[in-house]
Chain A
Amino acid sequence: EAQVTQNPRYLITVTGKKLTVTCSQNMNHEYMSWYRQDPGLGLRQIYYSMNVEVTDKGDVPEGYKVSRKEKRNFPLILESPSPNQTSLYFCASSLGPYALEQYFGPGTRLTVT
């Protein structure tokens, strides 16, 4: 089954404790991205990657890091989480940024206290 998986699905953590949210896709997509979704603000892109070893900042990259060592994986790293990073996070993949369809993972609900 073609899918994007994210882990963990739910996470409660404390300020400053480094965490990683994993994202993996099995569709051989070149383009992957991370979004955060907050009430009233919609989906905002954090980082994206056009291909392996190619990543770039989206609209709200501060406080986040990513890496793309393999085509299928695109982890999101929060080196020192803060409460304003409490949000719902989605990973997405597609054939390209212009592609008709972005495939989203199921989401990770993160709470930073």
Chain B
Amino acid sequence: RKEVEQDPGPFNVPEGATVAFNCTYSNSASQSFFWYRQDCRKEPKLLMSVYSSGNEDGRFTAQLNRASQYISLLIRDSKLSDSATYLCVVWDFGNEKLTFGTGTRLTIIP
């Protein structure tokens, strides 16, 4: 089983719709979680951290479910500019390892 798993997509979503995708992680000792955004052939950039209580940043909401070992990202009122690949990232304090998922590709359709 992969340490961090994501549905690769692609998710093709009409503009204005709400889209959500999950990421599962295998190590229950994982302690910090992040969503990064990567545009085609560009470097990844931090989108948001994921806190235990869940957090929201504008149209983006991130949730953590430790019992089921997954994190989620919800995008409301999607914009064309949201088209990108979204990487789930997990930090394990035990072995000081940062693990990236393979990404979920999202395309917003006009």
Contact = CB atoms under 8 A, between A and B. Distances in A.
Interface of A: 35, 40-45, 88, 90, 97-98, 100-102, 104-107, 109
Contact of A104 (B34, B43, B101): B43
B41 A101 contact: no
28 contacts: A35-B100, A40-B102, A41-B102, A42-B100, A42-B101, A43-B44, A43-B87, A45-B97, A45-B98, A88-B41, A90-B44, A97-B91, A97-B96, A97-B97, A98-B32, A98-B91, A98-B93, A100-B49, A102-B44, A102-B46, A104-B43, A104-B44, A105-B43, A106-B42, A106-B43, A107-B41, A107-B42, A107-B43
Interface string B37-48: 000011111100
Nearest to A91: B43
